[in-house]
Amino acid sequence: MGCCAGKSKAEAEEDNRRKIVVVGDGGVGKTCLIRRYINGEFDEFTPQAYIPSSLETHTREMTVGNKKFVAIICDTGGQETFRHLRKTSYPNSDAVIVCFSLDNEESLKNIHNLWIPEMQKLCPRVPMILVGNKLDLREEAYKPDGFIKESKGLQAVKKHKMVTYLETSSLNDTNVDKVFETAMAEAAKRKKQNKKSFDDV
Amino acid sequence: MMEDELALWLAAEDGEDEMVMSQNGGLGSTPTAFMGKHQARANVVNEIIGAEREYVKHLCDVVEGYVKQAKKRPEMFPMEKVTVIFSNIEEIYEFARELLFQLELCVNKEQPHLSELGDCFLTHARGFEMYSDYCNNHPAACEELRELYRIKKYKHFFEACRLLQEMIEIPLEGFLLTPVQKICKYHLQLAELFKFTPTDHPDHPKVKAALEAMKKIATLINERKRKMESIEKLAAWQMLVDDWEGSDILEESSELIYSGELHKINHAGWSQERYFFLFDHQLIYCKKDLLKKSTFGYKGRIGMDSCQVVNIPDGRDSQYNVSVRNAWKLHDSHKDKWYLLVAKTAVAKQRWLKAFEEERNRVKDDTENNFNIPAHVKQAVITNLKQKTNLNKPKGKTRFSRTNSSSTLSSKNQVAAFATLPRKSRHKVKSDSTISQKINWFFLGKGKL
């Protein structure tokens, strides 16, 4: 095998990889968000709960400052109800995107009671970004009463010391790029896990 | 699952495109009408097959690109290392290939919406259980990879594998996650298929059954993983108990259900303060070590399988001839032995009584659902933990470093476990080297209680 070829290149590439994991209740729009960002599309006319892709892990090149990075974006869709299986997606994460849906009170409740405590425990000190999905529904609603207000999201961010709160619409492509750019900017600040743990030993 | 339960569950699982659904006033309206119901079902069928094909290709990449290459380098990858990293992925690959082959046969090429896929999942249902071993091993694989990625030689090797196989830029651990993710996805796929399978479709009952079966499989795998984490904790707990007697905790139990301080009244009427740990199948009581905090001394055990919990009112108990409050008795019908236990408060007593009920339910549940971890796996956990504890024990000032664990792994496995037991070894520990090698990832796991 050509193990010796391109050593330094491979090494440089490794250091530029950052893992971003996306969590939240089932049906809040995690997969749509990622799909919109990676493929730039939204499947309006295929009403599929399940979006076909065997690889739940995606990559995309990103630039932070002048430096190139590779974002490894890990989707946890489908694993929501299987607590002990979904944990396997978490190790070595550099940033976490925690999602809820603006039309779903329960999904915000679970942010406080389930997702944030779980991420704080299993990904300690990893920066978290809170995302309220399905903004288009709130904006187009005749009466926005039934929807979650922006202030609620901001409160949650403050309470749990998260990086920021963003409201998105995968349908209209609102703020989608910003979510991943913010996550990557935070992730980029982190040194690679390997080196860090090596220092700890 | 009952019919309405299933409907509820489907509603709850109504996944990622919910916004489209709710916008258009729910199921079956605009988007479906837009392309016709046949077309919608045909799409789902094609997507299932497409996703399966992609998955098999991906497994093929891992097996051809990594596993085979690693096996060619036994000096870098002795067999046990290959097993820790890749577990049974080759077996999963074969299984997935066969499943895909069968699924493709089920597709009606001319009229894809008429395809009947349900049966294919049902006939393969048992086979999916092999994912359980894979999922249980996954943390160990990651840990091993983390160690290896620190060594340049390995890092380059893995990167070269990826480049040669022309795979996307994800580290190996990302690729290894796929089977875990996949097993969680089948039920979503089938829920989707079910949604577009009208009641008069010949596949209707089978898709429904397949959906339930795949949900059950994922639950089983999740539950076994929980059990696995739990037995590691239990084994670690036992190591903290001095003067242990009788069989190892894991021989009968796999989970801690409740614990707390109680007073145990002996037959002379004396009250003794004891710490009780209720596991499935047994209740173990210990004495707290007064000098060393958080250490316990083993005092005895009560087998719950032959035990009855007898609630007793506050007041004088004629059998023991003492006055008690918040008390209950346990009667072991097997040994015909009585125990009188007293909680500090009425609330604590109620909590304990509930815990005893939970214990019985848990035992019933585990047996019915086949959640139990096989004895040889438990044995391997014990063996490995004992070795690990011994190796971690500070001798002089040097501490066991995790960095060189990979290089010393093989030699560690050959050390007879009983020779290195930290405490008395009344019960013989089998040092089954094949098992311990197979599951030597327990060395690497973090067995925190």
Return the percentage of chain B with pLDDT > 70, whole number: 78
Tell me the pLDDT band of A7, cut-offs 50, 70 and 90: very low
Residues A163-192 have pLDDT tens digits of 999 999 999 999 999 999 999 999 998 875
Q: According to the model, what pLDDT value does residue B363 have?
A: 93
Q: Is the separation of the CB atoms in B249 and B284 below 8 Å?
A: yes
Smallest Cα–Cα separation from B69: which of B51, B88, B82? Answer: B82
Q: Is the separation of the CB atoms in B244 and B251 below 8 Å?
A: no
Per-residue H/E/C for chain B = CCHHHHHHHHHHCCCCCHHHHHHCCCCCCHHHHHHCHHHHHHHHHHHHHHHHHHHHHHHHHHHHHHHHHHHCCCCCCCHHHHHHHHCCHHHHHHHHHHHHHHHHHHCCCCCHHHCCCHHHHHHHHHHHHHHHHHHHHHHHHHHHHHHHHCCHHHHHHHHHHHHHCCCCCCCHHHHHHHHHHHHCCHHHHHHHHHHCCCCCCCCHHHHHHHHHHHHHHHHHHHHHHHHHHHHHHHHHHHHCEECCCCCCHHHHCCCEEEEEEEEEECCCCCEEEEEEEEECCEEEEEEECCCCCCCEEEEEEEEHHHEEEEECCCEEECCCCEEECCEEEEEECCCCEEEEEECCCHHHHHHHHHHHHHHHHHHHHHHHHCCCCCHHHHHHHHHHHHHHHHHHCCECCECCCHHHHHHHHHHHHHCCHHHHCCCCCCCCCCCCHHHHHHCCHHHHCCCCC
Distance between A151 CA and the closest CA of chain B, angstroms: 22
The two tokens of residue B45 are 């069928």
| Contact residues for A191 (Cβ-Cβ < 8 A; gap 6+) | none
Q: Is A192 in a helix, a strand, or coil?
A: coil
Distance between A186 CA and the closest CA of chain B, angstroms: 19
User: Contacts of residue B139 in chain A, CB cutoff 8 Å?
Assistant: 88, 91
- CB-nearest to B222 from A77, A84, A171 is A84
Q: From residue A134, give the alpha-carbon distance in Å to each of A138, A178, B380.
A: 7, 15, 49
Q: From residue B17, give the alpha-carbon distance in Å to each of A55, A141, A179, B22, B125.
A: 19, 18, 19, 9, 28
Q: Is the separation of the CB atoms in A60 and B202 below 8 Å?
A: no
Q: Residue with structure tokens 């990103």?
A: A62
- Which residue of A lies nearest to B65 if distances are taken between CA atoms? A1
Distance between B341 CA and the closest CA of chain A, angstroms: 35
Q: Give mean pLDDT, residues B129-156.
A: 92
pTM of the model: 0.74
**What are the backbone dihedrals phi and psi of residue B184, each rounded to the nearest 5 degrees, phi first?**
-85, -10
CA dist., res. A52 & res. B313, Å (int): 61
Which A-chain residues 34-73 have CB contacts (< 8 A) with chain B? 43-57, 59, 70, 72
Burial class (CB in 10 A: 0-12, 13-18, 19+), A82: buried
CA dist., res. B246 & res. B402, Å (int): 32
Q: Is A197's CB within 8 Å of B187's CB?
A: no
Chain B interface, best mutation among A44, A85, A93, A106, by max B CB count within 10 A = A85
Q: Which residues lie across from B186 on neighbouring strands?
A: none
User: Contacts of residue A19 in chain B, CB cutoff 8 Å?
Assistant: 174
The two tokens of residue B92 are 């999963």
User: Contacts of residue A198 in chain B, CB cutoff 8 Å?
Assistant: 150
Q: Is A134's CB within 8 Å of B19's CB?
A: yes
Q: Is A50's CB within 8 Å of B23's CB?
A: no
Terminal-residue alpha carbon distance, chain B: 35
CA dist., res. A63 & res. A68, Å (int): 5
Q: Is A84's CB within 8 Å of B31's CB?
A: no
Q: Which residues lie across from A74 on neighbouring strands?
A: A21, A57
Question: What residue spans in chain B does CATH classification 2.30.29.30 cover?
Answer: 251-407
Q: Is the separation of the CB atoms in A49 and B20 below 8 Å?
A: no
Q: Is B43's CB within 8 Å of A103's CB?
A: no
User: Contacts of residue A70 in chain B, CB cutoff 8 Å?
Assistant: 169
| Contact residues for A171 (Cβ-Cβ < 8 A; gap 6+) | A42, A44, A134, A136, B19
The two tokens of residue A143 are 């009466």
> What angle do helix axes B152-164 and A7-15 make, rounded to 10 degrees?
90
Q: Is A55's CB within 8 Å of B54's CB?
A: yes
The two tokens of residue B260 are 């707390």
- CB-nearest to A89 from B47, B177, B229 is B177
Tell me: pLDDT of B396 over 70: no
Q: What is the ipTM of this complex?
A: 0.80
Residues B41-75 have pLDDT tens digits of 998 999 899 989 999 999 999 999 999 999 999 99
**What are the backbone dihedrals phi and psi of residue B2, each rounded to the nearest 5 degrees, phi first?**
-75, 160
Distance between A157 CA and the closest CA of chain B, angstroms: 24
Q: Is B178's CB within 8 Å of A27's CB?
A: no
Sign of the dihedral defined by the CA atoms of residues A154, A57, B43, B213, in that order = negative
Q: According to the model, what pLDDT value does residue B383 have?
A: 74
Which superfamily, per CATH, for B28-202?
Answer: Dbl homology (DH) domain (1.20.900.10)
Q: Is A32's CB within 8 Å of B16's CB?
A: yes
Q: According to the model, what pLDDT value does residue A49 have?
A: 43
Distance between A60 CA and the closest CA of chain B, angstroms: 9
Smallest Cα–Cα separation from A181: which of A24, A98, A64? Answer: A64
A124 touches chain B (CB under 8 A): no
Q: According to the model, what pLDDT value does residue B389 have?
A: 65
Q: Is the separation of the CB atoms in B84 and B140 below 8 Å?
A: yes
If you average pLDDT over each of B31-40, B115-124, B439-448, which comes out highest?
B115-124
The two tokens of residue A194 are 């390997």
Tell me: pLDDT of A193 over 90: no
CA dist., res. A90 & res. B424, Å (int): 39
Pick the CATH number of B251-407 from 3.30.360.10, 2.30.29.30, 2.60.40.10, 3.60.10.10: 2.30.29.30
Cβ-based contacts under 8 A for chains A and B? 195
- CB-nearest to B16 from A31, A54, A74 is A31
Tell me: pLDDT of A126 over 90: yes
User: Contacts of residue A110 in chain B, CB cutoff 8 Å?
Assistant: none
CA dist., res. B9 & res. B15, Å (int): 11
**What are the backbone dihedrals phi and psi of residue B145, each rounded to the nearest 5 degrees, phi first?**
-65, -35
- CB-nearest to B155 from A14, A56, A88 is A14
Which A-chain residues 18-37 have CB contacts (< 8 A) with chain B? 19, 26-27, 29-32
Q: Give mean pLDDT, residues B428-439.
A: 35
The two tokens of residue B202 are 């010949």
Q: Give mean pLDDT, residues B190-218.
A: 94
Tell me the pLDDT band of B432, cut-offs 50, 70 and 90: very low
Q: Which residues lie across from B263 on neighbouring strands?
A: B273, B342
Distance between A105 CA and the closest CA of chain B, angstroms: 14
Question: What residue spans in chain B does CATH classification 1.20.900.10 cover?
Answer: 28-202
Residues B354-365 have pLDDT tens digits of 999 999 999 998
Q: Of the given ranges (A10-24, A62-76, B185-199), which has the lowest mean pLDDT?
A: A10-24
Q: Is B401's CB within 8 Å of A201's CB?
A: yes
Other Cβ atoms within 10 Å of A110 Cβ, number: 19
- CB-nearest to A54 from B54, B168, B188 is B54
- CB-nearest to A201 from B23, B34, B403 is B403
Burial class (CB in 10 A: 0-12, 13-18, 19+), B136: buried
Tell me the pLDDT band of B196, cut-offs 50, 70 and 90: very high
Tell me: pLDDT of B279 over 90: yes
Q: Give mean pLDDT, residues B9-13.
A: 39
- Which residue of A lies nearest to B140 if distances are taken between CA atoms? A88
Tell me: pLDDT of B168 over 60: yes
